Structure 1
């Protein structure tokens, strides 16, 4: 500690008893608001800089699947082989797998926790898996022992899977009835020309073992989404020959399943910036455009380094496509499939245009799209995302179709590339995605559609509601009336505040892009995001992360008064809310000139009031805080001076 002289001590004591107001009066300290609120220390797996540590690990899941779609009985049957690589530092006697189709049973936990009046996550109750011929192998040992409990299955090995790269194979046959109502995530839809099958969570999937929670085995209830490891997928879908099948990943056998005319059109689409029909509206029932007129066809797809795959199948599809240009010079293909009920220039005829624009924007701004296709499927689903493929409402049109298409494709970045745990931390995918959607919408077609986050104060009714919940509320337990805010809008607004008010665009973008690159195809936790943003942006943001992401407090910055002081002005401010925030002041002078001043957040570290000495030889006419109205400040009545709320 620096030595304090007697003279300095005398001055300090005199200052304590001075009755003269100074330009920096303080009342109490708020250090607790600026201190750490969770353990964010580093270790060998995850560093305090918010990057994967030198011994970071995650397991790998590679799948081979052969499935059959029975459109008479509405069933899926299939054979699955999972090659599981144990990169963890411990041997494994068993693994856990998800059986999400068991949610569609009368006695499932999800069914039994659904309110009597129902909600978005209603589902059929006459489904569920039949699992047969299960075999788990480690080298020459084999076991069929397994336990099924609700939407989870524990698979045991006769000998442990060795740590640090040991492998096991788990094979099984599976079958289930495809639900009509798949909880707004998957299901089937009857239209005039056939049935649209939207297939997701369609095979048994390995649960994640990580260094934070161990096995992540929360049951599938409905609102909570998914958390999966990465691997390579090789899958075949056998469907009626009249069907068009689209899927995550690249089609491996186009000559076997597509007619020569459709292949010619696809080649044209691969070079076209505008939408090209593969199956025109007038050709939906033209079986000459199919590779076979009867029986079945087997569609073969592959996808590398992905956490999931999904597909859709129907004989009712209009099909169109266009190329996607990526920053590296690589190309991908945007595709849309939809029934004639969804056709129209104000509706799904623009789907591929929307898809192409969305993917190109995110690729240019944040991280290049890694998949060969981006498929948009019209289904009886409000909006649901999977790697390389979306399900969006067949009734959407215009602004609503742009919004849902852009949102679901944005999910390819969060959580498909940056693989966060959706079931626990919905805000790390929905909120981050809603944030990037804001800028994509502003960029699309010179702002054809309005962006949702431009007027954050329109949401103050929720911010001041007694029923509001925190962002960190567990998704399955969140009141569904709050989920849109806790998972989507509040975290997205938080990122807008960081980018446009707290850090500035350059510092924020550097940090956010760095976060994406550091955690691409990995499993970040909340602390990793917080640590990384602080490290790269060079700012202690604990005061913000703590209050915004882990609380229900609000922002309310007040201008209490302006008075002359020694030829200058003192502007008196107070923090009437629970969240400290830097203060941007717009000062207008009597000659109608103006300037802006940004006061750092540390003024509130010293207390809830602050006197700012503004040096000027001009006469102040008006002072306004947050002039661009970026902050969702819950009380606009004290934002400016003079006002009817003026205090002195």
Structure 2
């Protein structure tokens, strides 16, 4: 019997322990020890590089030829790979990103397709890939010119080393290759060409154009995840020497510094570049629109070679065309160095590009550097390319063009400025703070979108930013959870890519800055992270840990909720109770009770009886009336006043002061409907028109993340209470944020069927109106 009792007792203990453990595991404020990797000598617990941190390096010497007749790239490259790791490497992995355009690419195979009752020729063509854009490898050789064993695995190539590459050693090999350049307007892509039929010319924006070393690090080993088109590029730093042979009448913009300006630029162009370097307010035109128009009329038969060098970059890209207009200006950094902000664009980009592009580049460098570090490279290019926004070290390709008459919509204007800020901003994340884009899109896109928002607001008051403010992510977060993934999801597996990788993390950082940490603490911690990981490879844990380490703010609950779950914010003001201290002063309390009684709703029978009962029995027979018939329990007698005096004399001075203060006590009940714990921001609006804001940290939910109550003490009577009055928390349902409840106005349109044409933009309409007024229409 004793054994049975002991066994039962142990079972109860085990069940109790399991229940406690389950509650702990569900606690939204538990520390993230299980989610984050264990700190080590390479990455320490503070989120900084450890004392034995290392990273690989790859140097490139590349020679290219751009074939403007067949739209091809031919190239040879020599790669020197430095093994700075403590490991001996049996093989090397090289990225062959253009292979995503090979006819047998997994990108095509894994793209869903379907049939319909009616199919266009374009839809039918899309069912079978017709363009062959993969790399054509002529050879892979070692430093002695001998064939080197290699294995192509879709978008990756394994270099089979003759012997392991020892720690601290380097290895040199070369590759010769070519590929067909894709028409971006037909089949899309980050890199490719745009064809201008009216003048029979091409504008090339070329990237991912050469076999590139994959990253080997202490977190992933080889980052050799296949490229399917969405997860971008993870690359080691190195030095580049690149020669680009193009038609003689082309202008070329590229990563790095031009090494042979005397050979490829005219004396006038070189002089204007020097003038531009000293200019701080307005760009200097190096090649004008008039010159570009003249240049695109005839095609040169000869070629010339542009030579560029770049130090400590993770990639290389370039643009080439005879259509380019070119302008530039200098941007002075805090250390006194000058960066050249420059733009190239076809005439189709004007007047927008001449007015805004280079100034937007300079603005981006100024404000991103303010929040992170001085821009360390010598140049920042913005290249106009239709229907694309894409970034590389020192150069980016950006959309935005006006109508043929030079007018444009607000959407086009702000979209163009925004994309330039965003793509130039990518120089900081991930080109310098070199996160793993193939795995974690949010680490570059989310952080960059956040800084883009800050820079946009510095550009113009109330700039119409797409991402950043908390209320702009609400529709996404309250959407169908089966089509939403956590931010911490591999880049190729994300639902709603823009909202997940750009919008939500940008919003999260903005909430941290404005609401949870405050601007001063956040800015210091963010700058600490940026400087710690300049020219290094940070992981998500490094970011999370640094933000906490540099601020002394425990943010584990925030990272877990915003980055590891799909919970949303919906904090409801469930109820309000209003209290005052019972003064026990007979006359005042009697008057208050009478007022409250008068304000009570009447029962329906009493209302009807007052009208329908002509006389009650005691009104018919007064003999039925006695003391209680006319007794008023709220009347005040001399005995009540005497008892009140005795009560007052029994109070201490402190208690009497509290009694006389006559303060209002409001007990507010909150319910967490969305599951995402957040600070509770409450605004009291008083009858005299004044307001009072209260900020309650998220930790109020730590013992009960479903329901909490909080008492507030006010001098004045409250007219209205509002939760999240400044739209700080991304609350998905503001309808339950008011006391008394507020009915929100919804509007509908009286529908009348009409046919919709292209319509005018506001600039065109304004021109037409002015012409009509002047009688010139």
Report 1:462-477 matches (<5 A): 462-466=476-480, 467-477=483-493
Say which SS state the counterpart of residue 419 (structure 1) adopts: coil
**Structure 2 CA distance for aligned equivalents of residues 644 and 38 of structure 1:** 41
Say which SS state the counterpart of residue 415 (structure 2) adopts: helix
User: Whose strand fraction is larger, Structure 1's or Structure 2's?
Assistant: 1
Deviations for 1:346-384, whole angstroms, at most 9, x for unmatched residues?
345421121111122212232211111111111234200
Matched, 1:240 2:256: no
**Structure 1 CA distance for aligned equivalents of residues 678 and 158 of structure 2:** 48
Size of the aligned set, in residue pairs, is 609
Matched, 1:274 2:282: yes
Matched, 1:579 2:676: yes
**Structure 2 CA distance for aligned equivalents of residues 472 and 358 of structure 1:** 28
Matched, 1:400 2:415: yes
Contact persistence 1:258–1:289 (CA under 8 A): no
Mean CA deviation greater in 561-570 or 547-556: 561-570
Say which SS state the counterpart of residue 417 (structure 1) adopts: coil
1:148 aligns with: 152
For structure 2, the 5+ residue unaligned runs are 1-22, 115-122, 403-411, 582-664, 744-777
**Structure 2 CA distance for aligned equivalents of residues 363 and 123 of structure 1:** 44
1:372 aligns with: 378
**Structure 2 CA distance for aligned equivalents of residues 372 and 123 of structure 1:** 41
2:257 aligns with: 250
State the structure with more CA Rg: 2
**Structure 2 CA distance for aligned equivalents of residues 98 and 87 of structure 1:** 20
Give the structure-1-normalised TM-score: 0.89
Deviations for 1:140-172, whole angstroms, at most 9, x for unmatched residues?
897610001111100022122111x21111212
2:172 aligns with: 169
User: Whose helix fraction is larger, Structure 1's or Structure 2's?
Assistant: 2
Distance 1:477 1:183, change over 3 A: farther
Say which SS state the counterpart of residue 39 (structure 2) adopts: coil
Alignment match of 1:314 (pick from 321, 327, 345): 321
Matched, 1:589 2:686: yes
Alignment match of 1:231 (pick from 233, 238, 260): 238
Report 1:44-63 matches (<5 A): 44-63=41-60
**Structure 2 CA distance for aligned equivalents of residues 601 and 448 of structure 1:** 29
Matched, 1:433 2:438: no
1:125 aligns with: 131
Contact persistence 1:124–1:179 (CA under 8 A): no
Mean CA deviation greater in 361-370 or 244-253: 361-370
**Structure 2 CA distance for aligned equivalents of residues 30 and 584 of structure 1:** 27
Contact persistence 1:411–1:429 (CA under 8 A): yes
Report 1:316-335 matches (<5 A): 316-335=323-342
CA deviation after TM superposition for structure 1 residue 635, in Å: 1.2
Alignment match of 1:609 (pick from 696, 707, 712): 707
Which structure has the higher relative contact order (CA within 8 Å, separation 6+)? 1
**Structure 2 CA distance for aligned equivalents of residues 624 and 124 of structure 1:** 59
Distance 1:53 1:142, change over 3 A: farther
Contact persistence 1:420–1:524 (CA under 8 A): yes
Contact persistence 2:516–2:697 (CA under 8 A): no
Alignment match of 2:717 (pick from 594, 603, 619): 619
1:564 aligns with: 578
Deviations for 1:541-594, whole angstroms, at most 9, x for unmatched residues?
111111111111111112222223464332222222211111122122333333
CA deviation after TM superposition for structure 1 residue 458, in Å: 4.2
**Structure 2 CA distance for aligned equivalents of residues 434 and 141 of structure 1:** 46
Say which SS state the counterpart of residue 584 (structure 1) adopts: strand
For structure 1, the 5+ residue unaligned runs are 1-27
Say which SS state the counterpart of residue 539 (structure 1) adopts: coil
Deviations for 1:294-317, whole angstroms, at most 9, x for unmatched residues?
521111111111100100111111
**Structure 1 CA distance for aligned equivalents of residues 327 and 226 of structure 2:** 38
Alignment match of 2:695 (pick from 589, 592, 598): 598
**Structure 1 CA distance for aligned equivalents of residues 130 and 101 of structure 2:** 5
**Structure 2 CA distance for aligned equivalents of residues 206 and 293 of structure 1:** 35
Distance 1:99 1:332, change over 3 A: same
Report 1:131-210 matches (<5 A): 131-137=137-143, 144-163=148-167, 165-181=168-184, 183-191=188-196, 192-193=198-199, 194-210=201-217
Deviations for 1:397-432, whole angstroms, at most 9, x for unmatched residues?
411110111110111111111111111111111111
**Structure 2 CA distance for aligned equivalents of residues 287 and 463 of structure 1:** 51
Distance 1:103 1:30, change over 3 A: closer
Distance 1:127 1:458, change over 3 A: closer
Report 1:82-121 matches (<5 A): 82-116=79-113
2:36 aligns with: 39
CA deviation after TM superposition for structure 1 residue 285, in Å: 5.0
CA deviation after TM superposition for structure 1 residue 34, in Å: 1.1
Say which SS state the counterpart of residue 569 (structure 1) adopts: strand
Say which SS state the counterpart of residue 570 (structure 1) adopts: strand
Contact persistence 1:284–1:318 (CA under 8 A): yes
2:541 aligns with: 527
Contact persistence 1:326–1:364 (CA under 8 A): no
1:387 aligns with: 393
Alignment match of 2:521 (pick from 507, 521, 526): 507
Say which SS state the counterpart of residue 41 (structure 2) adopts: coil
**Structure 2 CA distance for aligned equivalents of residues 74 and 293 of structure 1:** 16
Contact persistence 2:296–2:323 (CA under 8 A): no
2:226 aligns with: 219
Deviations for 1:205-242, whole angstroms, at most 9, x for unmatched residues?
00001111111111111111011111111111011111
**Structure 2 CA distance for aligned equivalents of residues 634 and 268 of structure 1:** 53
Give the structure-2-normalised TM-score: 0.75
Say which SS state the counterpart of residue 34 (structure 1) adopts: coil
**Structure 1 CA distance for aligned equivalents of residues 25 and 511 of structure 2:** 21
Alignment match of 1:628 (pick from 706, 712, 726): 726
Say which SS state the counterpart of residue 558 (structure 2) adopts: helix
Distance 1:449 1:601, change over 3 A: closer
Contact persistence 1:359–1:369 (CA under 8 A): yes
**Structure 1 CA distance for aligned equivalents of residues 505 and 45 of structure 2:** 22
Deviations for 1:432-469, whole angstroms, at most 9, x for unmatched residues?
1110011100001x337322346533442222221323
Distance 1:51 1:289, change over 3 A: farther
CA deviation after TM superposition for structure 1 residue 134, in Å: 1.6
